[in-house]
Amino acid sequence: ALNQLVEQIPLPLLFMRTVMLAIGAFPALVDFVMEIMSRLVSKQVLT
């Protein structure tokens, strides 16, 4: 689901909230989320 949100333009308003909730519920997702964040930065979505 997070992979699909990342591809939406513009990024959904509550994307970061969804990410924080996902990490809180599933701490093993941290590496996956870091990869997603890296992709967003390279697309200059978060800058």
**pTM beyond 0.85, yes or no:** no
In whole angstroms, what is the distance from residue 33 CA to residue 2 CA? Answer: 8
pLDDT band for position 40 (50/70/90)? confident
Residue owning tokens 């996956």? 32
> For the residues of the chain, what is the DSSP string, one character each?
-HHHHHHSSSPPTTHHHHHHHHHHH-GGGHHHHHHHHHHHHHTTS--
| Residue 21, pLDDT above cutoff 70 | yes
Confidence of residue 13 (pLDDT cuts 50, 70, 90): confident
**CA distances from residue 38 to 25, 43, 46 in whole angstroms, order as listed:** 21, 9, 10
